[in-house]
Structures are given as structure tokens and as C-alpha cells.
Amino acid sequence: MAEATLPTVDAGSPPSSAATGTTPLHEGAPKPLKRSIGVVGGTLLTLSCLTPASSLFVIVPGMFADYGTGTPMVLVIAALLCVGVAFCYSELGTMVPSAGGEYAMVGTLMGRFAAWIAFIVAGIVVMVVPPIIAMGTGDYIGSIVQLDDTGIKWAGALVMIGAMIMGLLDLRANAWVTGIFLGLEVIAAAVVAFLGFGHTDHGASELIHAKTLTESGMSPVSTAVLVSGLAAALFALQGFSTAVYLAEEMDQPRRTVSRTVLWTLAIGGAILIIPTIAITLAGGDMQALTDGDLPTLIEGWSNHGVATFISLCIALAIINAAIVMVIQNSRVLYASARDRAWPEPINRAFGTVNRFGSPWVSTLAVSIPGAALCFVDLTLLNSVTGVAVTLLYLLVAAGSLAARRGQHKHTPAWRMPLWPAVPVVLIGGLVYIMIELFKDEPKAVYWTLGIIAVAAVYWAAYLFPRKNTRWVITLADEGSQQD
């Protein structure tokens, strides 16, 4: 294997200067990841992480209970916000192509403490989302085996263990496996959309004049309630940012990352929103819609065989999502070891790469706790995820405001249109969502801020006193490749 080098990026230094000269890796540094995928492979993996059909069948039913026929409107508004988020990720991801994702991008532009907070917030997201999605499996294998609440939790844990095993294999092989599963996922969503539009019994005006079922009967959904649903909708659409975590395994990442991010959001948004509109217009009575029992609705539009096929496709889609999320999360932990965020023995362990090119210890480290989280209260997990996703997008949007100052503006990168209006508007919207979350979900906000506070103490006690040797953000040489 040719000697690998990484440019060291100190806080505030421009990536352009780092790209012009590399320094040898520090002793004991992990091997570089393989560059083995392009836009197609990256989009397949990233779409599998966005897993729009899993969001459709796991997250959207709960949204119907809260927002009724206003659910498509909430998703559309969230998708528009996500366009701005995708622009920010595309610009920063091509400027700073790193497996560290958000923390490498934010740290390069805003300093290492901001990078540490971004790492922790991203860590909350990547640890909590997979078990939430994995537990959805139990709801869609009812045609094979009936599970109670405990059984659903065990099913989620087994999905996480299976995803861990797949995550230990070669990334190219996983791209094809997840691509096949993704195909089944898209077919399931398309069939639901076709059946829904074929059985509409509501007018399109229902999508604008949102109503939901309450104890007192049908009630309009207020604008404030719809806005409060944006956090859940952002969670449903979250995943297109996975492309930035795969940057070190993509060919020509300064071109590939932006295309992957934008294509994934466009395709994934359509797969999620179009069937949601169909379900809303064909939901029958409001009780059926707000109950969110999609398998029963699908069976009513077709027959038991079709409903079973759809349910099994969804179960496979959930497993697919768990696999890709484990792959993504292990890369973040690998990058943190390369940047020496931990005591040296932990850095060596997290940076260990197996013969398939996978950081196997990091894979175990994100999968096993994920299996354990399947036994935590699901409502709390959902709420914490909404808070963490909103905070993470805020950090990335803030970082994008610094992307064109000084020498950063000369760094080769995809550049978003309407800068700086896009990040400014995005920050305003996300701050408003955070205020509403604090009103509606204070427990989740306190949990998230508590984790961040503990991380800040670790920064002050361990990382900052060792700032010359710990948490030194590095960027992979785009020409290096593991043999």
C-alpha cells in the first residue's frame, strides 16, 4: 500500500491551504478508507439511509394522529427547508470532504469547539435514529408472527445486530445489497400511491384546510400545531446528509458529494410525500386515517396478499435503513479516532480497519448500544431526535455563512445559489422550530442539552488542555486509496 497522508486542518485554517500540501499521518493513525463508489453507489447508499418508505410507514402514521390531513403540508414545508439544508451540506461537503461529516465541516470553518459540539449532536442523531427505525420492523411482520410491545423491541434489537454484521463487510457489496432492498422499498411506496389515488374519497382542499380528529369531533389544525410538526417532518426527511459521511469513499468527492446530496433529497422527498398525499386523500373516515394503521388501509384498497407483500417490503426497507445507518455512524466514529478525540487506546480501537475496508470496532461500538436503545421509551427517542436534528442543521447553516470568507472563498467547491439568503432564512426557521420544541417537548430539550453539557466538560477537562495533540481535524488526501 502506498504511504497515505492526510492534511492537518487546524481550527480556522482554510481547506484550500490544507489541500495544497499534506503531512505524514501521525504514528498509529488508522488506514485510509477505500475510494470505491461514485454518484450512483453513493445515491443508493444515501437513499437507503434516508429510507423514505420506512419514514412513510414508521413515522408518517404517527404524524397522521397529530396533524390529520395537514400531514402532507407539514412534509412539504419541511422539504422546502431541507432544500436549504441540502444546499448548505452540498457546499460544505464539497469544500471539506471528510468522513467526519458535520463536525469536520463546522470545525474547519468555525473552530474546534464548534466541531466538538457538532460531533456530539450528530452522535445523538446517529445513535438514536437506527433503533427507532429498527423497531418499526415489528409492525410489518404481523402477517408472519404477532408481536407484543416487548417482541417489537426484541425485533428491533435483532435488526440492529443484523445491520452490524452487514456493516462489517465491503462498502461496494453493501451498496448493491442496499440497492436491491431500496428497489423493493420504492415498489412498495409506488403501489401504495397507486392504490391511494385509485380510491380517493376526499377533495384536494383537504390538504389545505387541514383537519384532525379530537375527542370533541373534527377540528381544524392550527398553524401553530402544523409548525410544531416540522421537527418530526425533518426527522422523516433526514438522511440525505449521509453523502458527506461517505466522502472519503467516493471518487472525486468535490464533484460527487453535492450531486449525491441533491439527488437523494429530490428522489427521497418524492417517494415520501406523493404516497402520503395519496393516503390522505384515500384515508376513508378520519378515524381510519388518524389511527395510522396503514396495513389495514392497504388491505381495504386491495386484498390480504397485496397488503402482506407491502408489509414485507417495508420490513426489508427498515432492515436496509439500519444497515446504511450503521455504515454511516461507524465512519463518524472512525473519523473521530483519526482526529484523536479520545485517549490513545480508544483511538487505536475505533480506527482499526478490517480486510474489507470497514472500521470494525467502530461498527460494533455504534451497533450494540443501538440494539440496547430499542428498549428505551420510543416517544422520548423520537422527541430527542427531533431536537438533535434541528440543532445539527442549525450548526451546518451557521457554518455555511463562514464558507466564503477570506481564503475559504477560493476553495474548490460546489456553491449554493442565493447565498447568504438561504442560510439566513434557514437559521431563522430552525430557531423558531427550536422555540416551539422547547414549549412542546421540554424533556427532550433538557436531555439533549444535558448531553451537550457533559460533552463540553470533557472538552474543557481533556481535549482543550491537549489541543496540540487531541481533536486535530484532518482531511483525507483525495488521491489516497487503501490497496
Contact 7, 457 (CB under 8 A): no
**Inter-helix orientation angle 71-95/421-440, to 10°:** 130
Domains of the chain: 34-466 (1.20.1740.10)
Q: What is the pLDDT of residue 175?
A: 62
Per DSSP, the three-state class of 100 is coil
* The dihedral formed by the CA atoms of 159, 241, 245 and 322, expressed in degrees to the nearest 10: 0
Residue 369 to residue 346: CA distance in whole angstroms: 16
Q: What is the largest CA-CA distance in the chain?
A: 71
pLDDT digits (tens, 9 = 90+) for 260-288: 888 889 999 999 999 999 988 886 666 77
Average pLDDT of the chain is 80
Q: Give the H or E element holding residue 135.
A: helix 112-135
pTM attached to this predicted model: 0.78
Sign of torsion over alpha carbons 147, 152, 157, 162 = positive
* Structure confidence at residue 19 as a pLDDT band (50, 70, 90): very low
Per-residue cell: 118: 457538532
Q: Is the pLDDT of residue 415 over 50?
A: yes
Please tell me which residue, 208 or 141, carries the higher pLDDT value. Answer: 208
Task: Kindly write down the DSSP assignment for every residue of 395-457, as one continuous string.
Answer: HHHHHHHTTTSGGGGGS-----TTTTHHHHHHHHHHHHHHHHHHHH-HHHHHHHHHHHHHHHH
Contact 98, 406 (CB under 8 A): no
Segment 139-168 shows an average pLDDT of 77
Of the CA atoms within 13 Å of residue 209, those in its CB half-sphere come to: 7
Q: Is the pLDDT of residue 171 over 90?
A: no
148 vs 54, 114, 135, 138, CA distance in Å?
A: 20, 43, 12, 9
369 vs 45, 156, 186, 363, CA distance in Å?
A: 22, 12, 29, 11
